A and B are shown apart, each in its own frame.
Chain A
Amino acid sequence: MIRPGWILAAASLALAGAIGARAVPPPVLVNDALIAGETLPRTLEDFGFFQDQAGRIPANRVVPYTLNTPLYSDGADKLRYIYLPEGTEMAADGEGLLKFPVGSAIIKTFAFGEGEDQRFIETRVLLHRTDGWLALPYRWNDDQSDTRLAVAGARIALTTPEGEEISYRVPNKNQCKQCHTKDGEVTPIGPKARNLSADWLADRVSAGHLGTMPQVAAHFPDWSAREDISDVNSLARAYLDVNCAHCHQPGSMASNSGLDLRWEQHDGQAVGIRKPPVAAGRGAGGYAVSIAPGNPDASIMVHRMSSIEPGVAMPELGKGTVDKDGLAVIRKWIAEMPAQ
Chain B
Amino acid sequence: MLRFTLAAIALASAAPLLAETHTITPGEGAQERLQEALILAEPGDEIVLEAGRYALTDGLSLDVDNVTVRGAGMNESVIDFTNQQGAGEGLLVTSDGVTLRDFGIENAKGDGIKSKGADQIIYHAIRVEWTNGPDASNGAYGIYPVEASDILVQDSYVRGASDAGIYVGQSKNIIVRRNRVVENVAGIEIENSMGAEVTENLATRNTGGILVFDLPSLPQVGGRSVLVARNAVIDNNTDNFAPEGNIVASVPAGTGVMVMANTDVQVLDNALINNATSHVMLVAYAQDYEDERFQPLPANVVVRGNVYGSGGSAPDFPGGDAVVAALGGALPPVLSDGLHQNLALEDAVPMVSMGFTRRGQPVTEAKPEIIQPVVAGASPELPPITLPEGMEARLK
Contact = CB atoms under 8 A, between A and B. Distances in A.
A288 B9 contact: no
Contacts of A42: 6
Nearest to B140: A281
A215 to B, nearest CB: 30
Contact of B10 (A39, A172, A177): A39
Contacts of B169: 256, 278-279
A174 B62 contact: yes
B310 interface: no
Contacts of B137: 282
B383 interface: no
A16 interface: no
Interface stretch (B239-247, B256-264, B342-350): B239-247
Given A153-B58, A177-B63, A311 B88 contact: yes
A57 interface: no
Interface stretch (A94-102, A115-123, A189-197, A269-277): A269-277
Interface stretch (B108-116, B121-129, B265-273): B108-116
A60 to B, nearest CB: 27
Contact of A276 (B116, B242, B247): B247
Nearest to B147: A256
A280 interface: yes
Nearest to A253: B116
Contacts of A281: 110-111, 139-141, 162-163, 242-243, 246
B92 A178 contact: yes
A38 B12 contact: yes
B245 A152 contact: no
B92 to A, nearest CB: 7
Interface residues of B, number: 58
A282 B9 contact: no
A284 interface: yes
B116 A256 contact: yes
- Interface core residue of A154, A287, A316 (most chain B CB under 10 Å): A316
B32 interface: yes
B120 interface: no
Interface in A15-58: 38-40, 42
A317 interface: yes
B309 interface: no
Contacts of B38: 174
Given A256-B169, A281-B110, A310-B87, A172 B39 contact: yes
B146 interface: yes
B21 interface: no
A284 B245 contact: yes
A289 B288 CA distance: 12
A198 to B, nearest CB: 35
A303 to B, nearest CB: 9
A282 B218 CA distance: 19
Nearest to B36: A152
Contact-residue size bin, chain A (C-beta under 8 Å from the other chain): 35 or more
B86 to A, nearest CB: 5
B163 A172 contact: no
Nearest to B13: A38
Contacts of A178: 61, 92, 94
A255 B148 CA distance: 12
A233 interface: no
B68 interface: no
Contacts of A152: 31-33, 35-36, 39
B136 interface: yes
B86 A256 contact: no
B215 interface: yes
Contact of A258 (B39, B59, B218): B218
B287 interface: yes
A169 interface: yes
Given A151-B36, A152-B36, A310-B88, A280 B246 contact: yes
A309 B63 CA distance: 25
B170 interface: yes
A300 B169 CA distance: 21
A155 interface: yes
A113 interface: no
- Interface core residue of A169, A256, A277 (most chain B CB under 10 Å): A256
Contacts of A141: none
Interface in B36-67: 36, 38-40, 57-59, 61-63
Contacts of A255: 147, 219
A167 interface: yes
B244 A288 contact: yes
Given A172-B61, A286-B245, A317 B217 contact: no
- Interface core residue of B12, B57, B86, B247 (most chain A CB under 10 Å): B86
Contacts of A277: 245-246
Contact of A279 (B40, B138, B146): B146
A279 B170 CA distance: 11
A40 B6 contact: yes
A151 B64 CA distance: 14
B62 to A, nearest CB: 7
A283 interface: yes
Contacts of A288: 244-245
Given A39-B6, A311-B109, A256 B146 contact: yes
B300 interface: no
Contacts of B62: 174
B57 A282 contact: no
B132 to A, nearest CB: 14
Given A281-B110, A281-B163, 14 more contacts: A40-B9, A151-B35, A151-B39, A152-B31, A172-B35, A172-B61, A175-B87, A178-B92, A181-B94, A279-B144, A281-B111, A282-B138, A286-B245, A311-B109
14 contacts: A39-B10, A152-B32, A169-B85, A169-B86, A258-B219, A275-B217, A277-B246, A278-B215, A279-B141, A282-B243, A284-B243, A289-B245, A317-B86, A317-B87
